Amino acid sequence: MGRTFGALLTIASVALYSRLLPPSQYGILTLSLSTAALFNALFCTWVAQSVFRMYSETTDLKVLLLTGKFLFVASILISVISAMLAMILSNQLFNPILMAGIVLIASGYSVFEYRTVLITRQELPFRYLRMQLTRLAFSLILPIPVYLISQSFDFFMIALGLAYWAPLTSLLVQKSNYTFKREHIDFGLIGDLAKYGVPVALSILLIQLASSLDRYILTVYSGLDTVAGYAAGADLALFAVGIVASSLNQAFYPRLLSLYSSQKFAAEQLLYRRYLSCFFALTLPASVGIYFVSGELTHLLIGESIRSDASIALSIFAFTAFFLNAKSFVFDLRFQIAKSILLPIINAIFTIALLIGCCIILIPAYGVQGAAISSFVSLSFSCGLSLALSAKLGKSVKYPINELGKIVTATALMSLVLYILGQGLGSIIGLISKILIGVSVYFLALLMMRYKPAQDALKSALSSVRAILKH
C-alpha cells in the first residue's frame, strides 16, 4: 500500500505539473529529480544498503544503527556541498532561491529514502505507509498553491523540497531511543560497512546513470522542452512497473538475507525461486499492458504541450522498465546477498558505454524515439548479462521454467485481446474497462493452466468473501 501511494504521487505529480509548468521548467524539474537520485546513489545509498545488509549479522544493533546514522549525516553534508558546487560550476543556476530549492529536494530525497530503508528492514509497514501518505499529501498541497500565488518556479522548487522533508518532521523532533555518544560509534565497523557499501553504491550509481543519462544527452541535442515530454512518459512507465517490483523486493529481500545469514541455503534458493515466479507474474503483464494503453494514458494524464513526446517514451519504456527492474531487483539481488559487487559494476560500465553510443547515433536521426530505443537496448542487454552472470554465482538456481512458461503464455493471450480492442483516446471509464479486461484475461489464463499462486489467490479471495458474508 505504501508503494502504491508512492506511485500515485508520481502519477498525480506528472499529471498536474506537466499542465502547470511550461515545458522548459518541467524539464528543469525532471533533471533536478534525476540529479538528486544520482547524488543519493553516490553519497548516501552506500550507507543505507550496508546497514541493511549487516542488519541480520550484527551482534550489537544499537552500535550498527548509530554508526550508520553518523555516516549518513556526514554523507548528506558532502552531498549537499557537492550539489551546490556542481550548480555553481555549471554556470546555469546562479539564482540562490532556485539553488536552495534543488538542495532541499536533493537532501530531502536522500533522508527520506534512508528512512524508508530502515523501516523496511525493521518491518514496520504501517509507519512506512504513514510516511508515504504524508509525502503524497504535502507534495500536492504545498507546491501547486505556492506556484499559483507567486507565479515563481523558484518558490515552487522550494515548496517541493519542503514536501520531501515534511514526512520527516516527526522523526526530527521526537526523542530518539539511541543518543549519540562517541563510544557508541564503532569506527572499526565503518571500514566493514564501507567495504561492502561503497562498491554497492558505485554499482547503483552506474545503473542510475544508465537509466537517466539519456535525458541529459537528449537535453544537449534537443533542449529542455523536448526532454520534458520524454521524462514524463518514461517516469510513468518506470514508476508503474517499479512500484510492483520494489514492493516484492521489500517483502522478499529481508527474508532472503536472514536465510542466507543463517546458512539455510536450500530454503533461500526455494524462496528465491518463489520470488522470481511472483516477479515475472506481476511485472511482465504490467509492462505489456502499459504498452497497449500508452495512448490513453498520455491523453488523460499528460499536458498537451508535451503529450506527443510522452506517448513515444511511454510506449517504449513500458518494456525498458521490465528489464531495468528485473536486473536491479532479481538478478543483481544475488550479488548483493553474496557481497559480490565487482561483476555488476563491470556490467554497468558496459551498459553506460552502449547507451552513450546508441544515443549519439540515434538521437540526431530519431529524436525522442531514438533516445527511448537507446535506453531499451542498453538496459535489456544489461539485464541479460546480469542473468548470465548471476546464474554462475554460488550454487546454481533451478529456475521455475514451467511456471515462467505459463506466465509468458497468459501474457501473450492478454496481448492478443488488448490488440484486438485497439487504442482509442476515450474517457477514463474506457481506460479502466480496458485494464480490467486485460487483467481478467490474464488471470483466467493462469487459472486454466493451473498456475498455483493464481489458484491460491482465488482461494484466499473466496475465503474472505465467505467470511464477510458469514458475519
CA 54 to CA 117: how far, in whole Å?
Answer: 13
Cα(89)–Cα(66) distance, rounded to whole angstroms?
35
Place of cell 557499501: 197
For 432-443, write each residue's pLDDT tens digit.
888 999 999 999
Closest residue by Cα to residue 275 from 440, 399, 449: 399
Query: What are the DSSP calls for 184-221, one per residue?
Result: GS-HHHHHHHHHHHHHHHHHHHHHHHHHHHHHHHHHHH
Q: Are 426 and 295 in contact (CB under 8 A)?
A: no
Could you read off the pLDDT of 224-268 as tens digits, one per residue?
889 999 999 998 899 889 888 988 988 898 888 888 888 888 888
Position of cell 493462469? 446
Q: Give the contacts of 232 (CB within 8 A, at least 6 positions apart).
A: 14, 18, 26, 30, 302, 306, 309, 310, 313
* Torsion sign across C-alpha atoms 153, 156, 162, 164: negative
Q: Which residue has the higher pLDDT, 1 or 17?
A: 17
Q: How far apart are CA 72 and CA 458, in angstroms?
A: 44
Task: Supply the DSSP string of 133-161, one letter for each residue.
Answer: HHHHHHHHHSHHHHHHHH--HHHHHHHHH
Collapsing DSSP to helix, strand or coil, 167 comes out as helix
pLDDT at 89: 66
Q: Who wins on pLDDT, 365 or 74?
A: 365
Which backbone phi and psi does 393 adopt, to 5 degrees? Answer: -90, 115
pLDDT of 181: 56
Mean pLDDT of 194-206: 80
Burial 80-105 (b: 16+ CB within 10 A, else e): beebbeebeeeeebeeeebbebbbbb
Task: Give the span between the Cα atoms of 198 and 257, in whole angstroms.
Answer: 19
Residue with the bigger pLDDT between 178 and 102: it is 102
Quick check: 94 pLDDT over 60?
no
**pTM summary value:** 0.80
Q: Alpha carbon 137 to chain centroid distance?
A: 20
Radius of gyration of the chain (CA): 22
Please name the residues in contact with 22: beta carbons below 8 A apart, sequence gap of 6 or more.
Answer: 305
CB 280 within 8 A of CB 404: yes
- Report the distance separating Cα 254 and Cα 271, nearest Å: 11
Residues 6+ apart with CB under 8 A from 255: 271
Which residues in 127-155 are b (16+ Cβ under 10 Å) and which e?
Answer: bbbbbbbbbbebbbebbbebbeeeeebbb
pLDDT above 50 (res 173): no
Please compute, for residue 433, the number of CA atoms within 13 A of its CA located in the half-sphere on the CB side: 9
Nearest CA among 379, 345, 373 for reference residue 360? 373
**What's the rounded mean pLDDT across residues 324-333?**
90
**pLDDT one-digit tens code per residue, 410-431:** 999 999 999 988 866 557 887 8
Distances from the Cα of 37 to the Cα of 206, 208, 257, angstroms: 11, 7, 25
CA distance 334 to 279: 15
Q: What is the mean pLDDT of the chain?
A: 84
Q: Is the per-residue pLDDT at 218 higher than 90?
A: yes
> Which of residues 323 and 184 earns the better pLDDT score?
323
pLDDT recorded at residue 39: 79
pLDDT of the residue at 45:
77
Amino acid identity at 455: Q
Instruction: From residue 208, give the alpha-carbon distance in Å to each of 38, 181, 202, 448.
Output: 6, 35, 10, 40
Strands (E), 363-433: none
